Amino acid sequence: MKTKILLLILLLSAGMAGYSTTWQITNSGFSFSPATVTIQQGDDVNFSLASIHNAVEVSSATWTANGSTSNNGFQVPFGGGSVAASKLTVGTHYYVCEPHASLGMKGKIVVVNATAIVETRADQRVTLGSNPVRDVIQLTINESNLVGSAYRLYNQLGQQLMNDQLSGKTNLIPVSQLPSGVYFLQIAATDVKTLKILIRN
């Protein structure tokens, strides 16, 4: 019995880990890149910085004033490091480089909650070319009766961004205009399939 429980816990942990993402933030001179990143709750953030830069979480007021007083949130040492998902609760996390905050070296991490859109595993009727994607979502239809089905793309807030039809066996959906983040692609057929897609532009 203990073995079965342990196996179930391991399987659940592996499944959850498969849905988290690690986001990279670097520095370009005296600015963070990207300056604002929107992530899903449970994702990690890794800072890769020059040795003269760190990242310290501050209050919104301190951030606006280009100050550097910590609010006892996350702290990344000089040269960079990781911020665990447990430190990134839902909401906006403001951070600065302590020695260069007065120069405007600051950024934001916006953490959103899992949306009400439920992801369903795609069956063999639909194949996603790659995930994460850049610029274009490539979707291959393996069952001819799905051609002509409607698809809709939603952001994490459940807002519909696209609404079109699958035009053939291979479909290229342009997403270069969308910021990096997590999106949901719904395909309406006899049942609705929802694919979780990571866009990194």
- Per cent of the chain over pLDDT 70 is 82
Nearest one of 58, 50, 19, 52 to 33, comparing CA atoms: 50
Q: What is the mean pLDDT of residues 9-36?
A: 68
Q: What is the pLDDT of residues 116-154, one digit of tens each?
A: 455 545 457 788 888 889 899 998 888 887 888 888 888
List, in order, residues 6 or more apart from 4 with CB less than 8 Å away. Answer: none
- Asked if the 126-199 domain carries CATH number 1.10.10.60, the reply is no
The answer to pTM > 0.85 is no
Nearest one of 21, 80, 17 to 52, comparing CA atoms: 80
Please report the pLDDT score of residue 123 as a whole number.
Answer: 57
Q: Is-same-fold flag (2-112; 126-199)? A: yes
Average pLDDT, the chain: 82
CATH fold of 2-112: Immunoglobulin-like (2.60.40)
Poorest-pLDDT segment among 9-13, 26-30, 81-85, 139-143: 9-13
Where are the chain's structural domains? 2-112, 126-199
Please report the pLDDT score of residue 52 as a whole number.
Answer: 97
Tokens of 186: 């719904």
In sequence order, what DSSP letters do the residues of 154-177 get, joined into one string? E-TT--EEEEEE--SSEEEEE-TT
